[in-house]
């Protein structure tokens, strides 16, 4: 065998090894995650509590999946309790997608102190820990936040030109507060809020949750504590004052979904991501108003809203009573 032939054989062998080596690397890189056949065949189970916003979100997510994919959906009967009970169902595999709030996920589910919650990239931090612990991700920060807040009448906003709690602090000596005893006495409630903003109300009186909106409407007080998505805010036409110093923890709503579900149905990720910034706080409060006060069917509320956002095909429109913007009549 002459030198020229030997050289040619050596080059061919090197090329062969290189090709097989590259092919092996490529196979290793592109090996898809293993799809669970049971997950692939089963309907997607969407969970909720009996909170009005959960019922609305459950129907919205179901509609989005049904209208934009060929996947089957099951609307699981809502849990009559707290989001923590819904988390228990999720961990037991009884549901695949649930709405969850960021600070609750950080503290109640993961067991961290609220003081350790990151100020930025909260969803990423939650996804990292949820992925390791539950094989799950947080997808589509929906936009609204369910948190404690202070609310006033529109005339109070106009008189004092109020936008933020810092604005409210400047005129607080002229106003009265009414709130539940727990909020007034809890060290992490009003005492801490007052210290942060320098609130000095003329009076801080105890009142029940059932009575406070009517008391505010009747001008028996000027400020009340509320849950930001409470339908009564829209019903009475009250205004939430912005927490400009971020005293209350980040409690934006998002969807928690099993990673195995996304692996089995890749098209689902795009659908769920379409819920990002879908619903503002004002919009969610008004949607809750439609469910709680007007008693519209949840399917109509969800469908009409998604149609208005061009996320599903248009359906026949129905007249909707708008919430008051000037206060509820006596």
Domain contains 121: yes
Residues 48, 140 share a domain: yes
Residues 214, 131 share a domain: no
Report pLDDT for 322.
63
- What angle do helix axes 281-289 and 52-68 make, rounded to 10 degrees? 100
Neighbouring residues of 135: CB distance < 8 A, sequence distance ≥ 6: 258, 259, 260
Number of domains composing the chain:
2
Report pLDDT for 120.
83
How does pLDDT run across 5-45, given as a tens digit for each residue?
444 445 444 444 444 444 444 443 444 567 666 667 789 99
Question: How many other CB atoms are there within 10 angstroms of residue 234's CB atom?
Answer: 24
Residues 254, 199 share a domain: no
Kindly list the strands in the beta sheet with 73-75, ordered across the sheet, starting from the edge strand earlier in the chain.
Answer: 73-75, 44-46, 97-101, 253-258, 136-139
Residues 261, 195 share a domain: no
Domain contains 26: no
Report pLDDT for 278.
96
- Could you tell me the residue range of the domain that residue 296 belongs to? 37-145+250-308
Report pLDDT for 84.
85
CATH number at residue 121: 3.40.190.10
Report pLDDT for 9.
46
Residues 63, 139 share a domain: yes
Report pLDDT for 96.
97
Report pLDDT for 24.
45
Report pLDDT for 123.
87
Residues 223, 157 share a domain: yes
Q: Which residues, given as ranges, of the chain have pLDDT below 50?
A: 3-9, 11-31, 329-330
Return the closest-CA partner of residue 267 out of 99, 64, 38, 126. Answer: 64
Among the candidates 206, 241, 276, a domain finishes at: 241
Gap between the Cα atoms of 36 and 293, Å rounded: 43
Residues 155, 135 share a domain: no
Domain contains 326: no
Residues 134, 266 share a domain: yes
Return the closest-CA partner of residue 272 out of 127, 129, 145. Answer: 127
Residues 153, 114 share a domain: no
């Amino acid at each position: 065998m002459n030198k020229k032939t030997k050289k040619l054989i050596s080059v061919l062998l090197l090329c062969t090894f290189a090709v097989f080596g590259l092919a092996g690397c490529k196979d290793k890189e592109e090996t898809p995650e293993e799809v669970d056949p049971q997950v692939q065949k089963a309907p997607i189970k969407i969970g909720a509590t009996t909170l009005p916003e959960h019922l609305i979100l459950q129907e919205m997510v179901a509609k989005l999946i049904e209208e934009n994919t060929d996947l089957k959906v099951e609307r699981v009967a809502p849990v009559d309790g707290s989001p923590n009970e819904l988390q228990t169902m999720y961990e037991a595999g009884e549901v695949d997608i649930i709405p969850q709030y960021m600070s609750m996920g950080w503290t109640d589910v993961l067991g961290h102190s609220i003081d350790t919650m990151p100020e930025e990239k909260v969803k990423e931090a939650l996804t990292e820990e949820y992925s390791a612990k539950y094989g799950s991700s947080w997808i589509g920060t929906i936009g609204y936040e369910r948190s404690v807040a202070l609310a006033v009448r529109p005339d109070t906003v106009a008189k004092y030109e109020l936008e933020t709690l810092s604005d409210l602090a400047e005129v607080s000596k002229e106003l009265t507060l009414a709130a539940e005893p727990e909020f007034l006495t809890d060290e992490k409630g009003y005492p801490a809020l007052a210290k942060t903003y320098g609130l000095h109300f003329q009076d801080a009186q105890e009142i029940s949750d059932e009575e406070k909106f009517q008391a505010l409407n009747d001008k028996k007080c000027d400020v009340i504590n509320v849950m930001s998505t409470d339908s009564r805010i829209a019903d009475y036409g009250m205004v939430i004052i912005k927490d400009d110093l971020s005293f209350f923890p980040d409690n934006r709503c998002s969807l928690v979904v099993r990673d195995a579900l996304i692996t089995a149905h890749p098209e689902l990720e795009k659908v769920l991501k379409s819920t990002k910034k879908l619903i503002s706080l004002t919009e969610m409060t008004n949607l809750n108003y439609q469910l709680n006060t007007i008693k519209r069917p949840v399917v109509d509320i969800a469908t009409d809203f998604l149609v208005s956002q061009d996320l599903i095909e248009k359906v026949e429109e129905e007249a909707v009573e708008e919430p008051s913007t000037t206060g509820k009549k006596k």
